[in-house]
Amino acid sequence: MLNLKAIVHGKIIRENKIWENQVLLYADKIIALLPEAEFSNEMADEIIDAGGRYISPGFINVHIHGCIGVDAMDDDDDALAKMREILPKTGVTAFLPTTMTYDFPKIYRSLERIKRAMEQNGGAAVLGAHVEGPFISVKYKGAQAAQNIAQADFSRLEQYGDVMKIITLAPEQLADYAFVELCRQHGICVSIGHSDADYEQALEAIHAGVSHVTHLFNAMPPLHHRKPGIIGAVLDSDVNCELIADNVHVHPALQRMVYRAKSPEHIILVTDSMRACMLPDGKSELGGQEVFVENQVARLADGTIAGSVLTMDQAVKRFWENTGANLAEVVAMASANPARELGLFGERGSIDVGKNADFVIFDENVSVFATIVKGKKVYVSA
Ligand SMILES: [Zn+2]
């Protein structure tokens, strides 16, 4: 006997629409969507009343370093467990802990812990790692430590081919595209980021199989009308791009322009958040460097913006407000689009029968009411 559960009185976000008067039936996977008239309380062992709120596929964050004082690179077995436990509060049901430019032994230790976390249940799921650096541009290192930037060499990471899902690199540093081909064979998305590539180099990389661009606008040359650069290549192609929609990393007007210029299915909302996320202002740390958080903006001592303190619920809310896009489109940027990019759309990223029962229930302010992972309530607001 399946332990059936139901969510009633919700507005289900599905297939780019909002469905009302439907009941969502699930166990660890989604079992059915029923018209309200065909549902009776005896059909389910547990019923959640959404109270007119939205029922959305759970958010998938493909770029997050840390939150609540911990970082994916901490030599601490509890760091990822803490992230898995707290992230459902922000609507996240799955994520890619993201490593930074460090010495290889530290990156390896981090990938080992991420590998173990992929096997664990409870809280938000760890889908693998986003490896940001060390094969990046010194010129656009952002908050990454310059002394550990290395020449691109896939053999140095190959042993973690099953853990890495996205690797951010500067394509202008590659001798050829063999690196990209090896990543594709391992099912790893190659992403342009922390890069000084020009428009031609970026487009060439995209044609060679690079499918993703890391935090569009940040840590790359700005858009210039005679030098379109990476940003021009993103707006002029169907490559997927991350956006940090916190209104600090990218001005709301630029968020709107990206929304107008790009097919919405190629925009992926991320947080790029660091350990100070979900904590009050104060001193923090990122990639071995001191960070100061003031008015919820994180900077290095020299003023460089260093990661964010953004959460996925806030990213959805801000991008929705800033662009006037319909909510279903924005939700897809935090669920279906990242799932598709990771090759996981068959099992997650939308509310469809047979997929994982990963949901977030939120109101008109994108304030999270409850989060469900594999059919289990992992967060309910007080
Ligand atoms: Zn990052």
No. of helices (H) and no. of strands (E), the chain: 9, 22
Ligand 1 centre distance from Cα of residue 162 (Å) = 20
Query: What pLDDT is attached to residue 2?
Result: 66
Distance of alpha carbon 20 from its chain centroid, rounded? 28
Ligand 1 centre distance from Cα of residue 18 (Å) = 33
Read off the pLDDT of residues 47-100 as tens digits, 9 standing for 90 and up.
999 999 999 999 999 999 999 999 999 999 899 999 999 999 999 999 999 999
Q: Report yes or no: 302 and 236 within 8 Å, Cβ to Cβ.
A: no
Ligand 1 centre distance from Cα of residue 258 (Å) = 20
Read off the pLDDT of residues 291-323 as tens digits, 9 standing for 90 and up.
999 998 999 989 988 889 999 999 999 999 999
Ligand 1 centre distance from Cα of residue 272 (Å) = 5
Helix ranges restricted to H, 7-62: none
pLDDT for residue 6 is more than 60: yes
Ligand 1 centre distance from Cα of residue 176 (Å) = 25
CB atoms within 10 A of CB 17: 12
Q: Report yes or no: 258 and 241 within 8 Å, Cβ to Cβ.
A: yes
Helix ranges restricted to H, the chain: 79-86, 104-118, 178-185, 199-207, 229-235, 252-261, 312-323, 327-333, 336-341
Query: What pLDDT is attached to residue 289?
Result: 87
Q: Is the dihedral of CA 283, 286, 291, 296 positive or negative?
A: negative
Residues of the chain with CATH 2.30.40.10: 5-56+350-380
Can you tell me the distance from the alpha carbon of 221 to that of 196, in angstroms, rounded to the nearest whole number?
Answer: 6
CATH number of 59-341: 3.20.20.140
Query: What pLDDT is attached to residue 95?
Result: 98
**From 269-273, 299-303, 331-335, the region with the lowest mean pLDDT:** 299-303
State the average pLDDT over residues 99-108: 96
3 state DSSP class of 42: helix
Angle at 212 between CA 335 and CA 289, to 5 degrees: 90
Q: Could you say which of 2.160.10.10, 3.20.20.70, 2.30.40.10, 3.10.310.10 is the CATH number of the domain covering 5-56+350-380?
A: 2.30.40.10
Q: Report yes or no: 346 and 356 within 8 Å, Cβ to Cβ.
A: no
- List active site positions: 272
Read off the pLDDT of residues 220-262 as tens digits, 9 standing for 90 and up.
999 999 999 999 999 999 999 999 999 999 999 999 999 999 9
The strand pair at 54-57 and 359-362 is best described as antiparallel
**What's the predicted TM-score (pTM) here?**
0.97
Mean pLDDT of all residues belonging to the chain: 96
Ligand 1 centre distance from Cα of residue 307 (Å) = 6
Q: Which two tokens stand for residue 290?
A: 């001191």
Residue 187's alpha-carbon distances to 62, 114, 339, in angstroms, are 15, 17, 13
Which amino acid would we find at residue 322?
Answer: N
Nearest C-alpha neighbor of 218 from the set 205, 207, 201, 234: 234
Residues of the chain with CATH 3.20.20.140: 59-341
Can you tell me the distance from the alpha carbon of 168 to that of 344, in angstroms, rounded to the nearest whole number?
Answer: 19
State the average pLDDT over residues 1-16: 91
